Amino acid sequence: MSVAKSHKVKDVFTDGPIAPTAISMSVAKHAARTDIGAHEIFLGQVRADVMDGLKVVAIEYTAYREMALERMTAIREEAFAKWPSITCLHVHHSLGVIRAGELCFMVFASAPHRQAAREVVAYVVDRIKAELPIFGKEIRSDETHRWKQNT
C-alpha cells in the first residue's frame, strides 16, 4: 500500500511572457532521470484574433493569486492521485501584459509512458481553464479592451 505524497503550494505565476528558453530548460533538467520515457507539453500563446474589425494586440492577465494557488495545489494533488506514474508536473501562467505571439501558459508533465503524460496534461489544462480565477483583458488595436471568456 503506497502513501499519497502531499505536494507543497507552488507559485505558478510568471510576470510577463513565458520565455521559449524556459521550455527547453524544463526538458533539459529531466535528462538525468532514466525513469522518464515521455514528456508532454501544452503551450498557450496569445492569438491576434479579430473581433468587430479590431485585432487583439495583447492580453493583460490578472488573478486572485492566493485562491488560484490553493485551487492549483488541489488540481495537482488530484492529478498525481489519478496518474500515480507521473514523475513531474509543472504549470506556469503569465500575469501582466502579454503581446500577441508570446507564450502565456505552459503545462509540462513527465511519466514513464506517453499515455499518462498526455492524459494528465489535457486534464490539468482543462481544469485550470475552468476553475482558476485568472482573468484576461483583451487589448485591441484601438486601445479599447474586452474581458476574455474561456470557451
Residues shown for the chain: 151
At 1 the pLDDT is 39
Q: Which residues contact 3 (CB under 8 A, 6 or more apart)?
A: none
At 70 the pLDDT is 96
At 150 the pLDDT is 66
Cell numbers at 114, concatenated: 506517453
Tell me which of 7-21, 64-78, 128-142 is least confident: 7-21
Cα(55)–Cα(136) distance, rounded to whole angstroms?
15
- The share of the chain scoring above pLDDT 70, in percent, equals 94
Q: Which residues contact 117 (CB under 8 A, 6 or more apart)?
A: 38, 39, 40, 86, 109, 110, 111
At 144 the pLDDT is 81
Query: Could you tell me the domains of the chain?
Result: 13-147 (3.90.1170.40)
- Helices and strands, number each (H, E), in the chain: 3, 8
pLDDT score of 77 more than 50:
yes
Segment (H or E) for 130:
helix 114-131
> Do strands 38-45 and 103-111 pair parallel, antiparallel, or not at all (unpaired)?
antiparallel
Measuring CA to CA, which residue among 8, 147, 3, 25 is closest to residue 72?
8
34-57 per-position pLDDT tens digit: 999 999 999 999 999 988 899 999
